[in-house]
Structure 1
Amino acid sequence: MAVRDGETQLRRMLPLRVQYADDVSKLTLLSEAEEIFEPVRLTACPVCHTVPVTTPAITEGRCGLCQTELPAESERGAPDVSVELAAAKARLAELTRWIEELEGGLPTLRTKAEQALAAEAAAAAEVDAATARAVTPFLGERDALARRRQGAAVVHERAATGLRLVASLRRRARDIERQDATIASLCEELAEAGQSPPDRSAVIGRISERFAELLADWRYPKLADAYVDERLVPHLRGQRYTAASSGGRTLIALAWQLAVFEVAWETNSSHPGFLLIDSPQRNLVDYPDAGAATIARVYHHLRRWLAGPGIGAQVIVADNAPPAVAEEDVIVRFSRRSDQPRTASSTTRQTDLPFR
Structure 2
Amino acid sequence: MSKKIFLEKLILIGFRKNYEVLFKKGLNFISGPMSTGKSSIAEMINYAFGSEKHKAYIEIGKSCKDVQLDFWIGEKKFKIVRPLFDFNRPVKLFRWNEEGADFEKNFDLLEIDSPANKQSLSAFLLNEIGLPDIIVANQSFSFRDLFKYSYVKQSIIDSENLLMERTSGSNLKRKPTFEIIFNIYNELLGDLKQQLKEKLKLIEFLNNKRVGVYEFLKEMNMLNDKTFQEEKERLRKILSTETNKLREIKASGKYDESLTMGLEGDISSLKEKISNFDTVILDKEKHIDKLLLLRNQYSNEIQKIEFILEGSLILNSYTFDSCPSCLNPISPKSGCTLCGSEFKDLSTEETKVFKSELLRLKRKLNNLIIFMDQQRGILIQVQEERKLSKDELHVKQRELDHLINHYISPYIEQIQHINYEIGKINNSLDQLEKNLSVVNQFSKITQDILEEEKLRDKLIKRIDSLEKEKITKKDVIQNLSELFFEILEEFSFPKLSNAFIRESNYLPYVRGVKYDELGSGGAITMTTMAYFLSIALLKLKNKNHLGLLIIDSPRKNLGADSKIDDEFKDEEIFNSIIKYFTSLKDKNDPAKTENPVEDIQLIVITNGNPDFLSEDDLIVKFDGKGTNELPYGLIDDVEHL
**Which has a greater percent of strand?**
2
Higher relative CO (Cα under 8 Å, sequence separation at least 6) belongs to: 2
Report the structure number with the largest CA radius of gyration: 1
Could you say which structure has the higher helix fraction? 1
TM beyond 0.5: no
Q: What range describes the TM-score normalised by the shorter chain of this pair? A: 0.3 to 0.5
Normalising by the residue count of structure 2, what TM-score does the alignment of the two structures yield?
0.25
